[in-house]
Amino acid sequence: MVRAGTVLAERYRLEQRVGSGGMGEVWRAVDLVLGRTVAVKCLLGGLPDEPVFVDRFRAEARIMATISHPGVVEVHDFGADPAVGVYLVMKYIEGESLAQTLARVGRLSPEATMRLVASAAEALHAAHEKGVTHRDVKPGNLLLRPDGGVLVTDFGIARSAGASAQTATGSLVGTAGYIAPERALGRPATPASDVYALGIVAYRCLAGRLPFAGDSVVEIAMRHVHDEPPPLPPDVPAGVRAIVERAMAKDPAMRWPSGAVLADQARRALAQGPHQHQHRPAAAVIPPEVASATTRPQAVVPVPPPGSMPVPTRSQPARDRHRGGRLLAVVGAGLAVAAVAAVGILLNLPADAQPQSLAASPGAGTPSPAGAGGAVIPVASVGATNPAASPSPAGALPSSAATTSPKASAPTTALAAPGNLTATPISAGTIRLRWKDRSVGESGFTVIDGSTSRDVGPDTTTYDWTGLAPSSYSCFKVRAFNSSGVSAYYPAAQETWVCAISLSGAGPAAPGNLTATAIGTSTIRLQWSDNSSDEDGFTITNGNTSRNTGAGTTAYAWDGLAPGTYMCFKVRAFHSTGVSAYEPAAQSTWVCATTPTA
C-alpha cells in the first residue's frame, strides 16, 4: 500500500493523496532534485501487474506530452518504482475539480458556464489537433484554478489516432452521464463526441442536474440515444441555451464543428453580457472531416467479440446473428463504464423524431423493412443503410383476425404515442418487444411488423412476438388506440423501425433466474437455474470478459475484484452446436452487485 513519505526513484516524495480516477490515484509530492511541488499519478493497487493498464498508463503520458496548451496539465516525467510500479509526474495545480465545485454550489451562472466552456473547448481542440480524443469529458476531469482558468485532466482513456487499441475487443469506455449517442451505440469516438460531452457538462452547470438519469448505466446511455433533454431553466439566456443545445445535438454532424468554434461562440455569448436573450449564435460550416474522423474511444463497455451477444449486420452469416451485443460494467473508482446491448436496435433514428399524423405512419404501401412474414433477409449495418431500402413487397397493411384497433383511416387524437420500443430475441421463434406507455385512457396497443398486426390490452408494455422461423429478421412499430382514434406510431419516422433477429435455434435452452450477491470485498457469487439437459457448460460475461463453467453448474464465484467494484452480468448455456440466449434476455437488463469497500 502506498503511504505518505514514500520516495519514488529516489526523487519524488509523496506527501498527500489528493484524488483518484479510473486507473490511478494522484498524490501531491515534492521533487527532491528541483525542489518543487509536483503531482504524481500512480496506478491503483493491483493494476501495475496488468500489462493492458500499464500500456494505457504509458499511453496517457505520451498523449499528454504531445499537447502543449495552458489548458492541459504539463507532464514532467514518467518512470517506474518497485513501491508503486509505473508513475506519471505532472505539474501541480492548486484548485478543485468542477465536480467538487458543483457539489458545493449546485449550479453556475451562465457567464461562469460560458467562461468554463470556452477554456475547456480550446484545450480539447488542442488535443484534437494532435489527433487525440479525450473520451471522458466530465466535471471530475475539469480542474478549476484559483485564477479562474480551467484545465482538462485525466487522459487515461483518451485515444490517439496513431495508437493501437488498449481496451478489450469491442469494449467501450466512458461515463454514462456524459457519453455521446454514437458512442453509446458502440461507434468510434471523434472530436464531436468530446463536444457533446462538454455540452452535457454545460447543461449540468446551468441546470444543476444532468439531463438524463436512470436505474442503470445502460439505461442512462440509451437515453442519450433516444431522449431529448428537459429544457434548461428559464433564466438561461437564449444565446447560451442555443450554444448548449447545439453542442448536445444527437447527430455529430449537427454539433459545433470543432472545439475552437464552440469556444468562439461561448466567448461571443460572454461579450453579449446578461442581456443577450435574443442573441443566437451564427451558423458554422461543418467540415466533412468531422463526420469522417476515426479517432476511437476509451472506457470499458463491451462491443462483444464473437460469442458475446448478437448485433445483426449484413455481413454476418445467419448462424452467427444470434450472438452479438454490447454490454456494460462499471469497474474501478470514479469511472462509470457504459455498455449498450444491441440485440435489438433502432435503425436510422432521426435527429428530431417528432410524432406525426397517421397519414405519415405505416399503412397501405408502407411495409416493414423486414418484408412480409418476417422473412430471413440480409441485415443492414447499423447506420449504413436505410432500412426502407430493404427489399420487401408493398401492399396494404393487414390486421390479424383478432385486431380491434381503429382502421388506418381513423383520425389521430391527443392520445400520446408510446416510446422507447426495444426488440430482443429470446428464442428461435420469439422476439420480445418492450415499450413505454405514455398515454392515459388507451384501450390497448397495436404492434405491427409491416405484414401483420397484433393488439394487446391497455397498460401493456411487453409483448412476445411468436411464430417466427429461426434466424428471422423482423422489424416493428407500436401505437396506442382507443375508441376515438389512434396515436402516432413509435418510431414515428416512416422509414424507422425497431429490428431484431430471432435466435438460430441450434443452442440449448437458456438458463434462468440469475442472481448476483457480493460475498466479500473481492467476490460476487452468481447463481442461476439450469433449464437445459444437454449443455456442455455455461458462459458468464460481465461485458468485458467471460468465464466458462462445466455442465450442470448453477453457481459461480466471480473473484479478483477490487473493494467497491460495481459489476453486471449475464449467463448463457452452450454445447457443441450452438449457444442459448442470455439470461437476462432483455438487451438492457443485467444482474448487478457491488462488493463492499471494507
Catalytically annotated residues: 136
Question: If residue 197 lies in a helix (H) or strand (E), which one and from where to where?
Answer: helix 191-207
Q: Which of 578, 577, 574 is nearest to 532 (CA)?
A: 574
Q: Mark the binding-site residues, compressed into ranges.
A: 41
Q: What are phi and psi of 36, to 5 degrees?
A: -125, 160
Where are the strands (E) in 134-182, listed by range? 142-144, 150-152, 159-160, 171-173
Quickly list H helices, 41-190. Answer: 51-66, 98-105, 110-129, 181-184
Q: Which residues pair with 17 in a beta bridge?
A: 27
Q: Which residues line the annotated binding site for ATP?
A: 41
For the chain, what's the residue count?
A: 598
CB-neighbour burial class of residue 284 (10 A; exposed 0-12, middle 13-18, buried 19+): middle
Q: Compute φ and ψ for 152, nearest 5 degrees.
A: -90, 125
Q: With b meaning 16 or more CB within 10 Å and e meaning fewer, what string describes 575-596?
A: beebbbbbbbbbbbbbbbbebe
CA distances from residue 451 to 397, 473, 478, 495 in whole angstroms, order as listed: 6, 13, 13, 15
Of the candidates 390, 337, 12, 348, the residue with the CA atom closest to the CA atom of residue 176: 337
Q: Which residues of 437-458 are buried (b: 16+ CB within 10 A; e: fewer)?
A: bebeebbbbbbbbbbbbbbeee
Residue with cell 480539447: 124
| Furthest CA-CA distance within the chain | 85
Tell me if residue 246 falls in helix, strand or coil: helix
Contact by Cβ (8 Å): 582, 309? yes
- Of 450, 423, 303, 288, the C-alpha closest to 363 is 450
Other Cβ atoms closer than 10 A to 141: 26
Sequence-distant (6+) residues with CB within 8 A of 323 are 304, 306, 307, 308, 309, 310, 579
Closest Cα to residue 287, out of 128, 407, 414, 155? Answer: 128
CA 211, 216, 221, 224 torsion: positive or negative? negative
Distance separating the N- and C-terminal Cα atoms of the chain: 15
Of the candidates 399, 395, 476, 403, the residue with the CA atom closest to the CA atom of residue 433: 476
